[in-house]
Structure 1
């Protein structure tokens, strides 16, 4: 079908095709991920091809999972690696993908219309990468065909993987540092089906696709984070527990924050609504009631409140905490694009003995004012420097800092999580509270912090 110069040595080919095997989702937005069913270097299934001049050295039986199970079917494949004959080197020079389907059964849309798809490394003075296929009958293979475009995209991907291995490419963004990808993706698919109707019921002028699926993603992450954070030792962890049937809503009995949650600056209230609808206790506050609020079910409306929070007023002149209806011991604080309350999140979590917090920063705010840090959008940008400052602030307030790049449709998807104290000794916890109080004292002395004025009729929400 198509070929190009390899620009990397034979030894790198195995690394490149390993990426193709284990991450098919990088090549198609319709594929969620692959799961390995079995792998063998000795037992080869009868359905894989026997090729003159090549010897099979490894077979990986994988299952492709679709991103939209209700629309696309899953598919199993044999991924067979071959080495050139003659020779005693088992390093592969050929990968053949063989879909496992019944005779005359249709292939899913995301799979090319082929019986076999091969990736070859051809050793020569200028090595070549080549893609070959055995197309299904009547399948167009011309330059304007879908099959040719697919092969071109696959060749481009394979070349980039090989070149990246040669140049020691390292990913700049790492996902799934706290919650395993598989657990997140499986629950997200279920949550998306349960709440996708909100797209058609959207009451705001903002983009419903972005906001609905973004908050579904955040809710999914929180549910799994809470499940892992508040479980007892006998309940097991993600690595040891048996897979649960998500269709029966097992999260109704999952561990959760002992003091519920507080969504600071909840905006349209969607995240609060999703969590409340799934059985989680909590509240959302914002300075302004949104149009959406009145369209949620009563159970959600009761949890949304118009309030302007001034952290400097939560401590009296004697240094004692004032009571707050939603800030209390054991609460989990959510600060999703909370603007001026973003830096206050770890401070409040420390002072009120919260069980943890999740902060997704957006605009750069200090305790007194917004910041203009400049930057060019690179890793040395203002956003990166702001994230580093927030992480340092969390450490200062006594929290063990964890970070995650969330799988949500937003460029501001970097989260700081605090769920454990940096030092467990009671004396250290008290020292952290004193440092948090000192922050409030300093801000009070400067007198520059101005809480936003509540808008709308408070009594209505």
Structure 2
């Protein structure tokens, strides 16, 4: 078999061969362990501990109802540990360490959180003495409480590595009374999914697998998830009130996610200005007092306007522009309607020195504003240039369709930046790897090539480039962010940006889009 190909997952219900390997035996007479499902182990015992650590720390990968887990405590056991301190011991096995964690639900209004003890055991005799070969998960329920829906209906659940010939992985459980165990039961299906996950993690550990996509590069996952849950509850009503023909489940939760990310990014990036807090303090809305861009925000290509609305309704100042008004615009509250504008951006005006008197090409762009481009299409490559020429406080771009300045982007097309004095750009591979841009090992798609080109453009125009993969329901969830200048007030970068504009004008192919629809109403 090719060593690079993960072996096929071949599970077997344990009632097919019930006497092949004896089940676990507990010290307690009340704990009867029942084998549920098994499969061949395609990795060695010494990798088992590393594989199950993924199960411990990332339960959300196996259930969409779980948000994440939080570690409460960790305990290590030695041979001379007092037996009274050892959790639910098993005959012929001894615990090596345990982690007490809390499982947080994705829908806290519907499901309760639960604490769980995760204990690793090793055999006390034989060839593999002292090597962890079993993980036992035990829910810790307060008196009178019941298991939440997302938790298996068991008192204990064990993941075993059985070092027979050939070795197998097996899941066993101490089940609750009258619990069905047939192949159609929920417990069996849950155990099957967990076993497949362990099988995959074991192979990933064996082959030193590393995720190609890295999330949470700039904003901690916990902070994002906690705020997102609050924002989702505050704005999920738009799903049932959607005025557009597009899918509300995608667009509503995507814009809630982007708004959440921006709020935390701005909190991290900007210092609170003294004397700038005009909001009445609201205990359940701390973001009303978080740092924010000094010139507000400008959402270029704002589309249905929901992202602009969410930010404005949460106390942020800004505007959204697009080529045409959407049906949704007239249904937002007055503060949002006043912030949405029909406007056709013409970047070629920069070539005529419009900004020398500090009159922006975009009438709604204030000094120190933060630019947002969410799937802004033709405007996408212009974001870092606008941010440089207009001295913006930063920008976030989530590219979708690949556009250069005056044509569709294609491999080998577009402005090049080979003369850059930046070592990060001249060392292409290091630049790509550092920013998690994708396209490693020659696997460069059109989209990854576009991401790399945009990142180089951003650094060429003077921005310290940062990238992240957003937790939003979109396959185009990669973001490039500029929030820090490489050199403050360096005229070189402004000249570079204006040179690009001059070259676009010389080519003569750029056409400014014409506002569509009833532009006069906005």
Shorter-chain TM-score above 0.5:
yes
State the distance in 2 between where 1:207 and 1:17 align.
38
Deviation, structure 1 residue 348:
0.3
Deviation, structure 1 residue 380:
1.2
Listed as ranges, the matches of 1:400-419 within 5 Å are 400-419=464-483
The aligned residue for residue 381 of structure 1 is 445
State the distance in 1 between where 2:392 and 2:354 align.
22
Is the contact between residue 190 and residue 246 of structure 1 (CA under 8 Å) also seen in structure 2? no
Q: Are 1:281 and 2:317 counterparts?
A: yes
Cα distance 1:311–1:45, how it changes in 2: closer, same or farther (>3 A)? farther
Post-superposition CA distance 1:58-97 (Å, at most 9, x none): 1110000000000000000010111101279543111110
The aligned residue for residue 257 of structure 2 is 217
Return 80-89 or 217-226, whichever deviates more: 80-89
For the aligned residues, what is the CA RMSD? 2.2
Is the contact between residue 315 and residue 322 of structure 1 (CA under 8 Å) also seen in structure 2? no
Q: Are 1:393 and 2:428 counterparts?
A: no
State the distance in 2 between where 1:254 and 1:60 align.
35
Deviation, structure 1 residue 232:
6.2
State the distance in 1 between where 2:161 and 2:61 align.
21
State the distance in 1 between where 2:344 and 2:307 align.
19
Is the contact between residue 187 and residue 246 of structure 1 (CA under 8 Å) also seen in structure 2? no
State the distance in 2 between where 1:307 and 1:233 align.
31
Deviation, structure 1 residue 45:
7.8
Q: TM-score, normalised by structure 1?
A: 0.93
State the distance in 1 between where 2:200 and 2:287 align.
40
Q: Secondary structure at the match of 2:166?
A: coil
Q: Secondary structure at the match of 2:352?
A: coil
State the distance in 1 between where 2:47 and 2:365 align.
55
Structure 2 unaligned blocks of 5 or more:
1-35, 275-280, 413-437
Is the contact between residue 272 and residue 284 of structure 1 (CA under 8 Å) also seen in structure 2? yes
Post-superposition CA distance 1:325-345 (Å, at most 9, x none): 222421100011111110000
Deviation, structure 1 residue 319:
7.6
The aligned residue for residue 50 of structure 2 is 15
Listed as ranges, the matches of 1:285-296 within 5 Å are 285-296=321-332
Structure 1 unaligned blocks of 5 or more:
235-244
Is the contact between residue 372 and residue 395 of structure 2 (CA under 8 Å) also seen in structure 1? yes
Q: Are 1:326 and 2:364 counterparts?
A: yes
Q: Are 1:196 and 2:231 counterparts?
A: no
State the distance in 1 between where 2:164 and 2:314 align.
60
Q: Secondary structure at the match of 2:408?
A: coil
Q: Secondary structure at the match of 1:248?
A: coil
Cα distance 1:316–1:207, how it changes in 2: closer, same or farther (>3 A)? same
State the distance in 1 between where 2:100 and 2:84 align.
9
The aligned residue for residue 57 of structure 1 is 96
Q: Which one has a bigger Cα radius of gyration?
A: 2
Post-superposition CA distance 1:135-170 (Å, at most 9, x none): 101110011111101100000000100001111111
Listed as ranges, the matches of 1:167-246 within 5 Å are 167-231=207-271
State the distance in 1 between where 2:99 and 2:262 align.
34
Q: TM-score, normalised by structure 2?
A: 0.82
Q: Are 1:260 and 2:296 counterparts?
A: yes
Q: Are 1:363 and 2:401 counterparts?
A: yes
State the distance in 2 between where 1:442 and 1:430 align.
18
State the distance in 2 between where 1:268 and 1:72 align.
32
Deviation, structure 1 residue 373:
4.8
The aligned residue for residue 351 of structure 1 is 389
Q: Secondary structure at the match of 2:396?
A: strand
State the distance in 2 between where 1:400 and 1:286 align.
28
Is the contact between residue 314 and residue 322 of structure 1 (CA under 8 Å) also seen in structure 2? no
Is the contact between residue 54 and residue 82 of structure 1 (CA under 8 Å) also seen in structure 2? yes
State the distance in 1 between where 2:87 and 2:46 align.
24
